[in-house]
Structure 1
Amino acid sequence: MMVKLKKIVLASNNAGKLKEFSSLFEPLGIELIPQSQLGISEAAEPYPTFVENALAKARHASSASGLPALADDSGICVHALNGEPGVHSARYAEDEHGNRSDQQNNQKVISALSLLAQADGLVDRSAHYVAVLVLVRHADDPQPLIAEANWSGLIVEQPQGEHGFGYDPHFWLAEQQMTVAQLPPDLKNHLSHRGQAFRELIRKLSSPEFS
């Protein structure tokens, strides 16, 4: 049972992700250290798939720190937009100066769907969040642990809710009849793509094959 991992570097500087993952790892007695605390730069994310980018980030953080590293690559795929923003979710509306914000990213998605609605009438607003987690025990780990999950919802025009980050205020959950940003944080951690992927990661960590 996953007793060897006491410290893991989180290959992200995203404050929202750090908060979510720290709350998930805390009951396991594992300290999560953000890479910025160790002076580790962000890794390049040049790949077209979530898993390739997550693996690149995990290896980069592990190589620089000498510790096991966890990376996630996550985003939202809007079906009517052919899966965009996808791996570009965090920087979907980034300008030529590298400026970006959640509000700008959300507005770009809403505007794109509005244009489709004007052209075709009704538009498919279904989407899903994707989370891919990659854990490497060391930078050259030949068998990294990979866990993946999706979370389905609908894109709504008007933001609702004060919690969460990213696209959460516009991501409507039919079963709960609210956006992700309206969910209590504990419930979000249980239902979310990251929560689902995290439980899968823990299952793999607990297997006899992992040591």
Structure 2
Amino acid sequence: MEIVLATHNAHKVEEFQRIIGERMPGVTVLGYDGPEPVEDGTSFAENAFIKARTAAVHTGRIALADDSGIAVDVMGGSPGIFSARWAGPDAGALANLDLLLAQLADLTDPAKRRAAFHCTIALVVPPSAGQAEEFAAVGVWPGRLATEASGAHGFGYDPIFVPDGHDVTAAELTPAQKNAESHRARAFAALLPELERVAASR
């Protein structure tokens, strides 16, 4: 079964293929080549469904989309849904990371640097791929923010996020470790029964 992932981010496509492939070897995750939807939702779930619905309509395939970000406790949950654009709409991942570090520079106590990665994965089955239906699953990966970036794996805020139970950043974990623990892995674990049900009906 082929599923389109509603993202133009090749890193995410690879990560989803690894996560899904370990549990459902017969599923191939395809990248999305259609128009970029306007993510004007006010929650991870709303934005995930906006992307998944757009990809499902454009391709006629079963679509997955995730909306994810990092939420810092002392910042009231920010950057949250604005994580990818925290330093501005045209800023890159490094600029976002540097800005967040700068904003927390005065807080050196690890207890005051608590944060969590959040992920909502939306599954949309369009009428052209069977009975139309939608489902969403949530995953949260708690931890804290380091005072400086470290590690060459991962992307986004991974180099400054230290997951609970580790003394290294997410970017220093192996892909296998991250795939087993991450917010996306947790969300996918919650989504898996629905995805398996949809696959079995095809």
2:163 aligns to what? 173
1:198 to 185, 188, 191: 188
2:9 aligns to what? 14
TM-score (norm 2): 0.89
**Is it true that 1:42 corresponds to 2:39 in the alignment?**
no
Shift of 1:123: 7.3
2:65 aligns to what? 71
Q: Secondary structure at the match of 1:144?
A: strand
1:3 aligns to what? none
Work out the CA distance in 2 between the residues paired with 1:123 and 1:84: 17
Change (3 A) 1:139 1:17: farther
AA aligned opposite 1:31: T
AA aligned opposite 2:17: S
Work out the CA distance in 1 between the residues paired with 2:164 and 2:184: 19
Work out the CA distance in 2 between the residues paired with 1:56 and 1:174: 31
2:112 to 117, 121, 124: 124
Work out the CA distance in 2 between the residues paired with 1:207 and 1:10: 18
Q: Secondary structure at the match of 2:30?
A: strand
2:103 aligns to what? 112
Work out the CA distance in 2 between the residues paired with 1:173 and 1:202: 23
Conserved? CA contact 2:101–2:148, under 8 Å: no
Q: Which runs of 5+ in 1 are unaligned?
A: 1-5
Q: Secondary structure at the match of 1:75?
A: strand
Shift of 1:83: 0.7
Q: Secondary structure at the match of 1:135?
A: strand
AA aligned opposite 2:3: I
Work out the CA distance in 2 between the residues paired with 1:206 and 1:20: 19
Select between 23-32 and 162-171 the one with higher mean Cα deviation.
Answer: 23-32
TM-score (norm 1): 0.86
Shift of 1:139: 6.6
1:23 aligns to what? 18
Deviations 1:112-142 (A, max 9, x none): 1125x49xx9971000000100011117976
Deviations 1:138-186 (A, max 9, x none): 1797641211010001111211111000000000124121110000001
AA aligned opposite 1:130: H
Q: Secondary structure at the match of 1:73?
A: strand
1:85 aligns to what? 79
Conserved? CA contact 1:59–1:139, under 8 Å: no
Shift of 1:99: 2.0
Shift of 1:47: 1.1
Equivalent pairs: percent with the same residue?
35
Work out the CA distance in 2 between the residues paired with 1:31 and 1:142: 20
Work out the CA distance in 1 between the residues paired with 2:132 and 2:103: 41
Conserved? CA contact 2:136–2:191, under 8 Å: yes
Q: Which runs of 5+ in 2 are unaligned?
A: none
